[in-house]
Amino acid sequence: MFPLIEPTLLLDKQKCLSNISIMAEKTRKNNVIFRPHFKTHQSHEVGRWFREFGVDKITVSSVKMAEYFAQDGWNDITVAFPVNIHEKDRLNRLAEKISLNLLVVSPETAELLGKEIHHPINLFIEIDTGYHRTGVDPENTDLLDAILNRIDAYPNLTLKGFLTHDGHSYKIRNDKKAIRNIHQNSSLIANTLKKKYSQRYPDLIFSIGDTPTCSVADSFYDIDEIRPGNFVFYDFMQVAIGSCALEQIAVAMACPVVATYPERNEIVVHGGAVHFSKDSLALPNGNSFGKVVRLTETGWSTEETGMYIKSLSQEHGIIHAEKNQAKNFQVGNWLGVLPIHSCLTADVMKTYKTLEGETITMMR
């Protein structure tokens, strides 16, 4: 492998392309729209890889991110976050140039958009299918009707459909049946809402977007669009959930060993919260902030090491090593760490290094 100097987020392009290909093929077989979420990679270069699989619609998590990807020629963008009306000027500039889809959860927001946005925009109403973060209870038809009436009152607003994020699937641990049950519940909600409103809005769609259900589900009855994001890289959390195999994780942090403590079965690496974030995964003997793997000439091995990052401070990562393992490592050695949450790890690192040595930049 090429020389390394500091903590570096390695990206295996071939694994990444394979992950994209599998999801793209699944959407093709099910005849659903593939609108991947780009908040995970946040990169023009990685975004272009999706075009090789026919992707021409994307999802982002902020107006800033929509602007970034619009600069690279993406013309159909959904901002999957409830509208912040204070960004109306930026929204107007975007809506003038691209097909912009926004997310609303209240009639007040729809009203303000109707008054403040001077170009055609499409609106999704977010539905809460059990995550209880944001969204409208699907049984609250009075609120849904109030939002719809506000949308219909303005000629520049068009209902795109209903959108949901089954974020509660991230609480599952190695139980594909439980993940499929969450997906089936969303499909039932989609069926109910489409039966109620499709005559009034014949073109409405139901859009879902979380990596576990999109990875595990084989079919998408009553679903018209999927928006997974994390699947492009996956991570150790997704392995624990049951969304993917360890071999599908496409990113690993290369960290230099800076100290060893064999007497307490610990290794210290330069790789802390500023590199990984502080997302963790509960293990029987404590929390893991990353799974340790051995780096190889061609990437990293998925052979079990028994090592994991047990704690993080700003720059330090303390690795738990099995008995007598720590003495096998010296200051200056390199270890790989599969992140718990690749989205946040990528966000704090802001750059990738492919296994071929190419530097890939991200949105700043």
According to the model, what pLDDT value does residue 276 have? 97
Provide the residue-wise pLDDT of the chain in tens; the chain has 364 residues.
889 999 999 999 999 999 999 999 999 999 999 999 999 999 999 999 999 999 999 999 999 999 999 999 999 999 999 999 999 999 999 999 999 999 999 999 999 999 999 999 999 999 999 999 999 999 999 999 999 999 999 999 999 999 999 999 999 999 999 999 999 999 999 999 999 999 999 999 999 999 999 999 999 999 999 999 999 999 999 999 999 999 999 999 999 999 999 999 999 999 999 999 999 999 888 899 999 999 999 999 999 999 999 999 999 999 999 888 999 999 999 999 999 999 999 999 999 999 999 999 999 8
- What residue ranges define each of the domains in the chain, with the CATH number in brackets? 75-228 (3.20.20.10), 246-361 (2.40.37.20)
The whole-angstrom separation of Cα 151 and Cα 92 is 17
238: helix, strand or coil: helix
> Which residues 6+ apart lie within 8 Å of 89 measured at CB?
none
Rounded CA-CA distance 40/251 in Å is 11
Best CA proximity match to 249, nearest among 5, 9, 2, 6:
9
